[in-house]
Structure 1
């Protein structure tokens, strides 16, 4: 196998495919709006300009944070760091509603040891106006370079730190080497059938592993053109995404399940006129539970426009494996969906049911691993391989899996150094996800640390949250959390925290409105899961922040519930 780093691929594209389009940024998301386009040669020259500037400052061998709005400045800054032998550290811009907007950036800089935050001119000026800071905020250079000669990294050198989204704990920086990234890009190529002739588009945040791997690293590795859209432009008008796919003849695009459900709900029939989705070959769906109801609804609405059921590729991945873990399936077949006994799952057993059998829970298969990678289910108590009919913790191994979190030796050993207790096989990555492997495909049932255990039975919070969303209570789409809390008898009981949907609330609610809403929610949960939601808290719209990848922060809000620190609109049971 040829050992080429990301830097080698970038330099090679700049010569072999110099004039080919590498990146396109849709500045307002509209196909007839302004766009910024760079060829591979221009990408290299602009990235080399950044590398020269950073090298002249003596920053080679350090970490540098990258805090940018959506656009190509982030792309050149990222590759500029790699060319200069600097560990790139992508971070989101601060939340303007935060009481301490720079806290996350400064904390990440401290963890990664970064002396510099590379950003835009206006944001650098804003940060400096706040007074003396422990890091230097710099505007990225607009100079290009044609004669830059930087250090040649090895495959084991850390290319970038991907900070995890923090759904179950404190964010940690995954130390991803050039070898890890290249191995995962090869896996992506197998799963998505990528090559230089298949354009891609993404609207996920650029600092998120989905965009970073698929649409920033992918074009340089495979040579395809990448179109980038701001997530806000998608959220404001989701048909922009489908119009771009139709207009640019996109072959590959991916997003979380939410994006497909949101498109079904928000895109009107009138907006669909003239769309042609027949070029779309692979629609990745991952980052959160893949719901069969969403797949069916998307197929029904957009099938007449050329979308095919087999285009869907449910996938499984995480930053701790660069991105992709599972997703490999025959391109000619739709995703696999199993009907399982919900009662059996409460005791971590896998029992197949007929499609229309009562008490069934449908689970979408997330495909198999790529070449040289392995997924197994492990009993989290005995640390031995789970039986075929048993739900266990998913463990993975392969060249995509990095060796550590940056600067966290104990956590690194616990997460990346697992071995089977009986055979000693390993090291494996412990994912913290519950699931099983059947016929080579991974099926995800929940998170080990999020599991709700009441009266000795296991309940998956995602299932309860889905029920709440569809209960008829005034709950905002995708904005509720199911957790446990201590009960008066010393056990655990169910608590539901839900953002209110302002559109479903009267201007002047009468005295029975909120008690009725609580009863509606509780009734749906009892009917669907046999549980009593003793605590129900309706909170202000947009007060339940998610992780950078859109996942619920269940443990965080469980703590805030117990501390009485929620933005309460109405509550029962506290």
Structure 2
């Protein structure tokens, strides 16, 4: 950033002032002070710059959209946002906030997602939708199948930026709803998390403070903008920081993850990250000569969140990209969820991630964390210290009693980062966002549904799994993530994020089932190796966890159901399995079908 601009910001008190402003107010002030500064660059599928958005352009385009929205309907109206990866979404999102409308970011509806989109539109009562002109006609056709769902469409890329901004006043950072973040859920019933202006400001400030970020902290992100990580971290945090951010589409990353690393090098990014599988995928796709000249030495914070963090992944990634300037202290495991706007814990920065080996039997049967450095120890990775602005407690989910350090329980969070509740679901909102710890009245907590503990010696949060997915076998509490990881590690043809483990509770006996998604390579190999592969998987799970997998089912490529953040939807996979609705590969004919 231009030193003069930063000096002007400091002289005007903006750097400290933004801590209490709404994100649209921050955008307006930055656009006024340095309108030509680049806010976002968007890269195409080959890693080339496709579009650029300055702070001034972002403000002009946002106010033009706000002016149109303000002329129709009223404050609090919900507006659906259907956008491809790119820079049109963020100005539409800001336009909604400036007009006092509640933004509803949605994934573009594929065949599988049309029903989900229709359920969300009905649930929130949307009557207006924003998109780009190239998609409008197709979206009209796809979503007009129900006459009871009339939508007024606006192609925001066709608006003239010269539209007057008179009367457009940024809202304060208060408790009015800014947007609805619909959770992917494990079933077909997503819930709309009501995120307020105050929630956004608080969470952005928490991240800036915890990770020691400022206007020089350039970032690179690929997460989808309709997901909480892609929106809050990838598109709103840059506005608070006043930095420059490089974005790319999630499909670009999945197809060519090394483009992500190349962008970090080219644009000298300080902050970039993703779920654990992103680091696995990048290490798998690395090839000698592919990243010649790549220099990752600017990368100070590699966020690892939204999924279970694996110590083996951290080691593989460091070994693979260490020669390119990546440092092991760059990796920063973190924890967050949509119900807390996004960020809960992560840091301190520039330190080695905390890795512990615990007694699996004591954890599974007693809920106690004890060190076990032997071969039977279970490795867990710390997800950092909670922000100073919130309180995190570990609570017995059965009776609401606070548990001490190194005790397994449900993670509860209290603070201004907690969302207002679920849209039009008062009972579920009260149960999730209005919990109280037994004997400690007067303070409300949000129940995360995550099982974990706080380290006695370091105060970090350690996560072990989700309550709803817990496997109870012979009095032991097993987390499916651990069993799935063992399955993935058992054979090189089984890829990360490719299996779901759950209990089939039909009949008198509960049976453990593993559903494994085959990519094209595994699908071709299955006729020859299916029997041996099943034996190898069963042996690995038995030796590591002491339980038996009763059924192993192989399903077709791209049919394992996941959330928008890439998490496996185990409950949905269980439901499809019990309904015989999985796209199962018949091993006998797999070669012919490949």
Instruction: Give TM-score, length-normalised by structure 1.
Output: 0.94
Q: Which residue of 2 aligns with 1:500?
A: 518
> Residue 484 of structure 1 contacts residue 492 of structure 1 at CA under 8 Å; is this kept in 2?
yes
Deviation of the 1:181 alpha carbon: 0.5
Deviation of the 1:487 alpha carbon: 6.3
One of 205, 213, 216 as aligned partner of 1:197: 216
Q: Quick check: 1:287 aligned with 2:306? A: yes
Distance change >3 Å, CA 507–CA 267, structure 1 → 2: closer
Q: Deviations over 1:139-195 (max 9, x none)?
A: 224321353322552411111111112137732111111111000001111222211
One of 559, 573, 584 as aligned partner of 1:557: 573
- 1:470 alignment partner, SS class: helix
Q: Deviations over 1:297-325 (max 9, x none)?
A: 11111111111111111000000011000
- 2:490 alignment partner, SS class: coil
Q: Structure 1: how far apart are the matches of 2:365 and 2:314? A: 28
Counterparts of residues 82-481 of structure 1 (less than 5 Å): 82-95=97-110, 97-98=111-112, 101-130=113-142, 131=144, 132=147, 133-140=149-156, 141-144=158-161, 145-154=163-172, 155-167=174-186, 170-329=189-348, 331-355=349-373, 357-438=374-455, 439-472=458-491, 474-481=493-500
Q: Structure 1: how far apart are the matches of 2:564 and 2:97? A: 23
One of 8, 12, 21 as aligned partner of 2:38: 21
Q: Structure 2: how far apart are the matches of 1:105 and 1:276? A: 42
In structure 2, stretches of 5+ residues that fail to align are 1-15, 589-594
Q: Which residue of 1 aligns with 2:562?
A: 546
Deviation of the 1:499 alpha carbon: 1.1
Q: Deviations over 1:343-375 (max 9, x none)?
A: 1121253333354x1211111101111122111
Distance change >3 Å, CA 508–CA 418, structure 1 → 2: closer
Q: Structure 2: how far apart are the matches of 1:522 and 1:371? A: 44
Distance change >3 Å, CA 491–CA 148, structure 1 → 2: farther
Q: Quick check: 1:63 aligned with 2:78? A: yes
Q: Structure 2: how far apart are the matches of 1:34 and 1:283? A: 23
| RMSD of equivalent CA atoms | 2.0
Distance change >3 Å, CA 412–CA 515, structure 1 → 2: same
Structure number having the greater helix percentage:
2
Q: Structure 2: how far apart are the matches of 1:57 and 1:149? A: 15
Deviation of the 1:388 alpha carbon: 2.6
> Residue 480 of structure 1 contacts residue 499 of structure 1 at CA under 8 Å; is this kept in 2?
yes
- 1:315 alignment partner, SS class: strand
> Residue 67 of structure 2 contacts residue 165 of structure 2 at CA under 8 Å; is this kept in 1?
no
Q: Which residue of 2 aligns with 1:566?
A: 582
Q: Structure 1: how far apart are the matches of 2:318 and 2:188? A: 36
Q: Structure 1: how far apart are the matches of 2:192 and 2:501? A: 27
Deviation of the 1:390 alpha carbon: 1.9
> Residue 453 of structure 1 contacts residue 492 of structure 1 at CA under 8 Å; is this kept in 2?
no
> Residue 213 of structure 1 contacts residue 323 of structure 1 at CA under 8 Å; is this kept in 2?
yes
Distance change >3 Å, CA 437–CA 384, structure 1 → 2: same
- 2:498 alignment partner, SS class: strand
Distance change >3 Å, CA 466–CA 570, structure 1 → 2: farther
Deviation of the 1:495 alpha carbon: 1.0
> Residue 368 of structure 2 contacts residue 406 of structure 2 at CA under 8 Å; is this kept in 1?
yes
Distance change >3 Å, CA 483–CA 516, structure 1 → 2: same
- 1:339 alignment partner, SS class: strand
Q: Structure 1: how far apart are the matches of 2:273 and 2:70? A: 35
Q: Which residue of 1 aligns with 2:69?
A: 54
Q: Structure 2: how far apart are the matches of 1:392 and 1:521? A: 30
Q: Deviations over 1:314-340 (max 9, x none)?
A: 0000000110001031x2311100111
Q: Which residue of 1 aligns with 2:23?
A: 6
In structure 1, stretches of 5+ residues that fail to align are none
Q: Structure 2: how far apart are the matches of 1:425 and 1:346? A: 32
- 1:346 alignment partner, SS class: helix
- 2:199 alignment partner, SS class: helix
Instruction: Give TM-score, length-normalised by structure 2.
Output: 0.91
> Residue 40 of structure 2 contacts residue 246 of structure 2 at CA under 8 Å; is this kept in 1?
yes
Q: Structure 2: how far apart are the matches of 1:472 and 1:179? A: 47
Distance change >3 Å, CA 375–CA 29, structure 1 → 2: farther
> Residue 474 of structure 1 contacts residue 517 of structure 1 at CA under 8 Å; is this kept in 2?
no
Q: Deviations over 1:188-246 (max 9, x none)?
A: 11222211111111001111111211221112111011111011111221111111111
Q: Deviations over 1:439-493 (max 9, x none)?
A: 32100011111000012111110111011112228534321001011265x3422
> Residue 339 of structure 1 contacts residue 360 of structure 1 at CA under 8 Å; is this kept in 2?
yes
